[in-house]
Structure 1
Amino acid sequence: MWGSGAEDPLDDEELVTRARDGDLEAYELLVARHTASAYRTAVLLGAGPDAEDVTQEAFVKGYRNLSRYRGQSSFRSWLLAIVANETRNLHRSRNRRDGLALRAAAAYPEPVAGEDGAVGAVLAAERREALVRALRRLPVKDREVIVCRFFLDLSEDETVTMLGWPRGTVKSRTSRALVKLRGLLDHEVVRHG
């Protein structure tokens, strides 16, 4: 835990406690600290141009529901679960399900080291396109777990919290989703390679 000296930053738990007691500046610090990951989560889960609205709504709901936060998981994973729920609500309201893949692939545009810049860029674009096609073909829950574990780099515990699934489900779905994704990527290489 951080010290309480004036120059030491406060940890999330202290900020949550202060925000619960009505300290709006404490919640503003939490917002500033977690906006980037909340926004990135919304984008990767397919919120697209509505990611900013989803993020803002998640922070509003988080503030309103601070009394429900029990500290059993990190504030970040609790907040990202709200972002995920808001993104699902967005999908349900628009009945749209496939914006995730393009945004997930766009998050990793770097070419492989050692390749000629132009060749590397073309190969990276081809790999992204193959990944986009493969991710789009995965069922939504498989996409969600892949995004959580590998694009957001969430721990297993954070993924459990964010998706609201039992630990065993996260483990088994991650394993099965990776197998499916590899198979789809292999098929893409044969089909387009």
Structure 2
Amino acid sequence: MERTHESVPSPEEARARERRWVERARNGDREAFEHLCREAYPALLHYARSLAGPDRAPDLAQEALLRALRSIDRFRGEARFRSWLLRIARNVWLNERALLRSKRERSGSQQVEERAGAHVDPAARLEREELVAALEREIATLPAAQREALLLCDREGLSYKEIAQVMGCPIGTVMSRIHYARTRLRRRLGRWWKNGRGVG
């Protein structure tokens, strides 16, 4: 007796099939949600490793899955489920880095103030506040891709390779975006922009 093999579905068929699973998951079908997660998990774990390293990756992937479960009813299915899940993982990772950086900055600022006897020159403080405000205004006017690449580099401390992985583009594109962003900020901020690294 000859054994028949199932034909490989076309991309359109696979997409339609996924939409049906997504619709079931949005309607509260836990089995459908788990099916989607099983399909996407290898890519999710690989992506989490590229972001956070092998030790942190499983926890990052798990947190992304939990957040996806809580918000699946709001997923409209315009993107692939896997892409949506990877964006969630990316946001979790960026939020964790921002929180950690904020804690370190607060701790460092507190230590500096204690050593300085909490003395702050009002004129210096005003100038610093003006610089920060001007910088934030100019950053907000950058094209979205340039702004994201610049902040990932100068605020999050990512390498060009890491930024390329996060943004899903070639390293050369990352370098170009950062270059144009810094050039624009340097031109707009003049003397305040030091060595092209004014995003602190």
Q: TM-score, normalised by structure 2?
A: 0.47
Answer with 1 or 2: which has the greater Rg.
2
Higher relative contact order (CA 8 A, sep 6+): 1
